[in-house]
Amino acid sequence: MSGTTTADSGTPRGARPDGLAEGLARLRRALRRGARVADPGNPLAVAQLELLSALTEHPRARPGQLARLLHMRPNTVTTIVNALAAQGLVSRASADGDRRAVELTATDTGQQAVHTWQATNAALLHLALSTLPAPQRRALTAAAPALDALASAVDRLADIPPEPPPRREA
């Protein structure tokens, strides 16, 4: 995304059809790596932090709702929730009207872990942005609303069930 060209085509990286996806994936990996360096004492895995983030946005969510929201298997959500509950980051309560169902909430400590993670990422981004030339900083700042809209569009598409494959005639 730095304007470099690819070795195989000589095309600017951002000009390839998959350049945006590749650039976003690289940015996400770089942020994860950078956040680990900036906050080496954070014991939580990214999946745990993403689940906690979802709970701060959707308090009292049920495990099945989280599985659908995060596109995780229900048993994976259960494993993550058990680990987070053992650390005092998630609380469980019986659902209103259905004592068999469980609702989950990020505890104050869990919410603080999310805020710390978000602040670490924001500080890392601000520092990285400060190293870029002014035109690139302006372009990235101007792109923020479009990136937010793109994330919302991807979320909407993720909520649409895939169409079944066409049936083959025998």
| Inside any domain, residue 65 | yes
Q: Pick the closest to residue 119 from 22, 47, 53 (CA basis).
A: 53
Residue, of 74 and 10, whose pLDDT is higher = 74
Domain span at residue 44?
17-144
Quick one: how far is CA 32 from the chain centroid?
Answer: 10
Per the listing, tokens 């990286």 go with 13
| Inside any domain, residue 63 | yes
Q: Is residue 9 scored above 50 in pLDDT? A: no
Q: What's residue 45's pLDDT?
A: 92
| Inside any domain, residue 45 | yes
| Inside any domain, residue 23 | yes
Three-state SS at 157: helix
Domain containing residue 48: CATH number: 1.10.10.10
Beta bridge partners of 5: 12
Q: What's residue 162's pLDDT?
A: 73
pLDDT band at 2 (very low <50, low <70, confident <90, very high): very low
| Inside any domain, residue 159 | no
Number of domains in the chain: 1
Dist. CA 26–CA 33, nearest whole Å: 11
pLDDT in tens, 136-154: 999 999 999 999 999 889 8
| Inside any domain, residue 86 | yes
Q: Is residue 130 scored above 60 in pLDDT? A: yes
pLDDT in tens, 86-113: 999 999 998 887 788 899 999 999 999 9
| Inside any domain, residue 155 | no
| Inside any domain, residue 64 | yes
